[in-house]
Structure 1
Amino acid sequence: MPKILISADLEGVSGVVHPVETNPERYDYERGRALMTADVNAVVAGVLEAEPTADIVVADAHGTFRNLLPEDLDPRVRLIRGKPRPLGMLGGLDSDVDGLLFVGYHARAGAGPAVLAHTKSDVVLGLRLDGRELGEIGLNAALAGQYGVPVLLLSGDDAACAELSELVPEATTIAVKRALGQAAAEILHPAVARERLRRAAATAMTRRAEIPPYRLDGPVTLEVDLYSPTTVDAATLIPGVARAAGARTVTFTGRDVAEAYDIVQLLVLLGQVKPG
């Protein structure tokens, strides 16, 4: 019985192109979260088509981590929701997981054209591990790799798919939209996208033995460019975090990716605190 973790974000979901569809305080959010739930269900169906005995855990990984509609989610899965929590977007990850699937993911900050591209939040302008520019895709793939878990599949726009393919060329990617800008895309009809997601997930499961984890051996050097100099000031109060040359960059050397990942989560939280 393979154990599968699905990490679901919202910006890369089929049909979603604008921040109003991803923000709980905006008018079109309910549509966005319904589309997100439907995309996840399509991927679940594909996983179980290929592996009927699979044990599937879904981690809600967007914003508040409370977006997926539990009552509409496939009843054969268990859902991890809410924050803060260990391992952030990959809540539920451990060395017993046999494969990780990214649903509704987006490209990193600075990528383009790419729909709703960012890294964690608007607090972060850029992020590098051992000198390589990564977004949420690369950071999460590297965290999974530390546990020996391969990324089997990613769905999102074409830019997000290309981002994973650079890191894990063996993984299955499914573009549900073609980016035309930060808030514009050529999209598939959601029903068509879901059918492609189902088929892609089934294919990914049949190929999981061929896909290696994306590993970055520790220690790892983290560099983060932050939007606000005030956040930089606060970040230097974290043991091990130092200000780099220039006003906006902080550095940290972690014993492994997991330690660096925790620092990124702390930096994002600090950036959301308004100065007194």
Structure 2
Amino acid sequence: MTNRLRVLISADLEGISGVVHPTETNPGSYDYERGRALMTAEVNAAVAGVLDAEPDAEISVADSHGPFRNLLPEELDRRVRLIRGKPRPLGMVAGLEAGVDALLFVGYHARSGAGPAVLAHTISDAVLDVRLDGRSVGEIGLNAAVAGHYGVPVLLLSGDDAACAELRELVPAAVTVEVKQALGQAAARTLHPQEARDRIRQGAAEAIRTRRQVSPLPTPTPVRVELDLYGPYSVDLATLVPGVTRAAGARTLVFTGEDMAEAYRVVQLLVQLAQIKPG
């Protein structure tokens, strides 16, 4: 039995400094390789900050953007374990189920409908909104809620000003590192990448040192989930899943999860079904 602090870093790409456009986040686009290199560097900065504060910490990094295969393994700090590839039961926060003490979000973005916010969305462009017991949440809220189910506090988020505000609304004691100010969906006033990395390193160290001031996000059991999808065909398909029903109107799905971990898995499934086009 180890007494070492166990830390999970969940890394996304839209909230990385300098990144403002889908060509920097989508594999195969001309600027994607640059975007993933910037992402890897900011994750390394967070790792360094954790180890500044807790040199013996065990750190896992969950690659949590798009295909979950963005971080450059050969460029990642060799002291971490990398979680990559999909599908996986806990998606962006895979590793929580193995037991961790703290969760950090690097490169995160605001939820669908937020604005101004850089590349704001919730999981997929097919999703208009997700509500947990009536409260609208994006990836930040969903992942923080799953962490709460496992008793794990979210200590830090780096991203644009909108993403930082979104986490502070849920977890006021968390450390946030603003690496850019959103001017719109594809525009921002951004820090130099090295300056952003320095601030992330400092923020991660502060978050670890002050971790006892942060509590896990409370999560309801059971949890009622409403999911608004863009396409009515996707709603038709999703209602084939047992327990998922259509609410009044063409685009809203409703189901109840036994707990947040179950609800999260169902949300992931419904979002994947929403990628299927009519035959």
Bin of the TM-score, shorter chain as denominator length: over 0.9
1:141 matches 2:144: yes
1:210 matches 2:213: yes
CA contact (8 A) 1:95 1:148 kept: no
Within the candidate set 169, 173, 190, 2:172 is matched to: 169
Distance 2:269 2:57 in 1: 34
* 2:277 alignment partner, SS class: coil
1:70 matches 2:73: yes
Within the candidate set 242, 245, 260, 1:242 is matched to: 245
Equivalent positions of 1:104-123 (< 5 A) are 104-123=107-126
Quote the offset at 1:267 in angstroms.
1.1
Per-residue CA shift, 1:185-243, capped at 9, x if unaligned? Answer: 00000000100000000000001111000021211100000000000000100010000
Quote the offset at 1:96 in angstroms.
2.6
1:56 is aligned to 59
* 2:97 alignment partner, SS class: coil
Q: Which amino acid aligns with 1:139?
A: L
1:29 is aligned to 32
1:89 is aligned to 92
Distance 1:127 1:91 in 2: 20
Per-residue CA shift, 1:12-61, capped at 9, x if unaligned? Answer: 01110000000002100000000000000000000000000000000000
Quote the offset at 1:93 in angstroms.
0.9
Quote the offset at 1:272 in angstroms.
1.0
Per-residue CA shift, 1:123-170, capped at 9, x if unaligned? Answer: 100010000000000000000000000000000000000000000000
Distance 1:11 1:223 in 2: 25
1:255 is aligned to 258
1:124 is aligned to 127
Distance 1:146 1:6 in 2: 17
Quote the offset at 1:274 in angstroms.
1.8
Q: 4+ runs of 1 displaced by more than 3 Å?
A: none
* 2:95 alignment partner, SS class: coil
Q: Which amino acid aligns with 2:89?
A: P
2:223 is aligned to 220
Distance 1:55 1:66 in 2: 21
Quote the offset at 1:122 in angstroms.
0.5
Within the candidate set 265, 273, 278, 1:270 is matched to: 273
CA contact (8 A) 1:95 1:147 kept: no
2:49 is aligned to 46
* 2:276 alignment partner, SS class: coil
2:234 is aligned to 231
Counting matched residue pairs gives 276
Quote the offset at 1:259 in angstroms.
1.2
Q: CA RMSD in A?
A: 0.7
Q: Structure 1 length as normaliser, TM-score?
A: 0.99
1:101 is aligned to 104
Q: Which amino acid aligns with 1:259?
A: E
CA contact (8 A) 1:95 1:149 kept: no
* 1:94 alignment partner, SS class: helix
1:190 is aligned to 193
Q: Structure 2 length as normaliser, TM-score?
A: 0.98
1:7 matches 2:17: no
Distance 1:41 1:190 in 2: 12
